[in-house]
Amino acid sequence: MKAKEQSEAPAPSETEDADLAKKKAAAAAKAKAAAAAKAKAAAMAGGDAGTDDAKAKAIAAAKAKAAAAAKAKAAASGKGTEQPAEEKQPSPNQPLLDKYVKIIGEHLGQDILEDSYINSLSKDVPTIVVKRESYYKMAQFLKYNERLGFDYLSELHGTDFETHMEIYVHLYSYKNRQPLALKVKVDRSEPVIESLQPLWAGAEWPECEAYDLLGIKFTGHPNLQRILLGEEWIGYPMRKDYEPFDVEV
């Protein structure tokens, strides 16, 4: 009886099978749509990130370019930047200057000098400034002192600083292979100083030139004369207040 009842139970209808298939298809379509939406969102996010990264790089490059331009402009104008200044290194010729000053002080006294320094604008040459009344005495000492021995005068010229004039003498010791610059200030209203020609023959023509162009007179010079402009020339062209007598010249 049971077997008969089971055999007579109704089978699923074709309509139910169709509905089940539709539900499965709809579920698959939703899953596919969700996956596609997720992939699109990921792609868009990656694109935005790439765009933002490119913008950031462009901004950084623009800032670096602007900073470089500002630095170059500051360097060209001679103005400092916000960077800390480099520590100035001592001159390799500082020991020479210390040596000269010590020897001079031991023999002539420290008061004979007005100043001493390293001239960084002229190859770091050790430089001493002597008082006007001790100019010739200092020159003698520099030449004949055994520890100094400045036997060669390579340069001598004058300069007008408006408030005073200055004589610059560059000396060299071949024995020690050492340089020295000797300076002395001269009264501008009456520029007179001793000649160094009796000590170094090479001073003869440079002193004539300083006389010719600045009107500085060197007492004791064997033949002080104007060598460029001639004795008939009026005035001294290297003075700051010089006015040509003949405006057409």
Residue range 39-67, pLDDT digits in tens? 666 556 555 555 566 666 777 777 777 77
pLDDT the model gives residue 60? 73
Q: In 3D, which of 196, 162, 169 has the Cα closest to residue 183?
A: 169
**Is the confidence at residue 143, as pLDDT, over 70?**
yes
Q: In 3D, which of 145, 183, 180, 144 has the Cα closest to residue 164?
A: 183
More confident residue, 128 or 45: 128
Confidence of residue 73 (pLDDT cuts 50, 70, 90): confident
The pair of three-digit structure tokens given for residue 178, joined into one six-digit string:
């050492």
Q: Write the burial class of residue 117 (CB in 10 Å: 0-12 exposed, 13-18 middle, 19+ buried).
A: middle
Domains of the chain: 94-192 (3.30.460.80)
What's the pLDDT tens digit per position in 103-118? 999 999 989 999 999 9
Tell me what the mean pLDDT of segment 35-42 comes to.
65
Strand partners, 172: 152, 179
Range name among 32-41, 45-54, 133-142 with the lowest pLDDT average: 45-54
More confident residue, 158 or 31: 158
Confidence of residue 28 (pLDDT cuts 50, 70, 90): confident
The rounded distance, in Å, linking the Cα atoms of 103 and 235 is 41
Confidence of residue 244 (pLDDT cuts 50, 70, 90): confident
**Is the confidence at residue 13, as pLDDT, over 60?**
no
Tell me what the mean pLDDT of segment 179-186 comes to.
98
What sections of the chain are H helices per DSSP? 2-7, 14-77, 94-108, 135-144, 204-214
Confidence of residue 222 (pLDDT cuts 50, 70, 90): very high
Q: How high is the mean pLDDT of the chain?
A: 83
Confidence of residue 32 (pLDDT cuts 50, 70, 90): confident
**Is the confidence at residue 176, as pLDDT, over 70?**
yes
Q: What is the DSSP letter of 187?
A: -
The rounded distance, in Å, linking the Cα atoms of 171 and 154 is 6
Tell me what the mean pLDDT of segment 23-51 comes to.
65
CA atoms within 13 A on the CB side of 193: 34
More confident residue, 183 or 86: 183
Task: Compute the chain's Rg from CA coordinates.
Answer: 47
Q: How many helices (H) and strands (E) does the chain have?
A: 5, 7
Tell me what the mean pLDDT of segment 27-50 comes to.
64
pLDDT the model gives residue 149? 97
The rounded distance, in Å, linking the Cα atoms of 37 and 95 is 82
The pair of three-digit structure tokens given for residue 90, joined into one six-digit string:
């001592």
CA atoms within 13 A on the CB side of 148: 26
Three-state DSSP class for residue 248? coil
Axis crossing angle, helix 135-144 with helix 94-108, rounded to the nearest 10: 110
Distance of CA 209 to the CA centre of its chain: 34
- Phi/psi for 127 (5° steps) reads -130, 135
